[in-house]
Amino acid sequence: MLLNRKIIAMLGLSSVVTLVALTSMAPDKPGYKNVKVLPKNLTHQQLGKVMDEWAHSLGVNCGFCHVRDEAAKKMDFASDAKPEKIAARQMYKMMNKINSKFFKAEKDSLGMMARTGINCNTCHRGNPHPELKVPEGGRRGPGGPGGPGGEKKD
């Protein structure tokens, strides 16, 4: 009888240990489809943070780059049907090249810019299609008014 109690106690204890070990294990990382330029090991929360930063920098929502699957009544984030998504990938690559070439970049745990360099907001500033703005006024510098070769002021 004592032997049976010990066996039952050991089975119960090992069951509890197994259950705790299984529930405390980190869940598998989401297997995102069609992720090409971002790190593959992003969690759902990390990917959401990146997308939020991009959306705020461009002043847009998810539908700007992603198509909606009307049959499923939800966004089809894996689809490349919108040219804006392709452009976003190209601009992300361009940004990374600029940062690696011209800035001593500090990167966060995801390998993305942390403190220095440029980001989407550098150019977009809340506008999905930033415009080139040339300063108004007369030409300054060499050849401008009062400069070498320019008009002389009295």
Of the candidates 20, 33, 22, the one whose C-alpha atom is nearest the C-alpha of residue 69 is 33
Computed on alpha carbons and rounded to an integer, the radius of gyration of the chain in Å comes to: 28
Average pLDDT per consecutive 10 residues, the chain (154 residues; last block may be shorter):
72 72 61 87 91 96 95 94 96 91 74 75 93 78 61 53
The dihedral formed by the CA atoms of 53, 58, 61 and 67, expressed in degrees to the nearest 10: -110
Provide the residue type at 137 as one letter: G
CA distance 65 to 78: 11
In this predicted structure, what is the pLDDT of residue 134?
Answer: 82
CA distance 38 to 44: 13
pTM over 0.85: no
E runs forming strands in 19-114: 67-69, 74-76
32's tokens: 């995102």
Question: In 3-state terms, the chain is what percent helix, strand and coil (to 5)?
Answer: 45, 5, 50
Contacts of 92 (CB under 8 A, 6+ apart): 37, 38
- Where exactly are the structural domains of the chain? 44-124
CA distances from 147 to 21, 119, 137, 144 (A): 77, 36, 15, 5
In this predicted structure, what is the pLDDT of residue 62?
Answer: 95
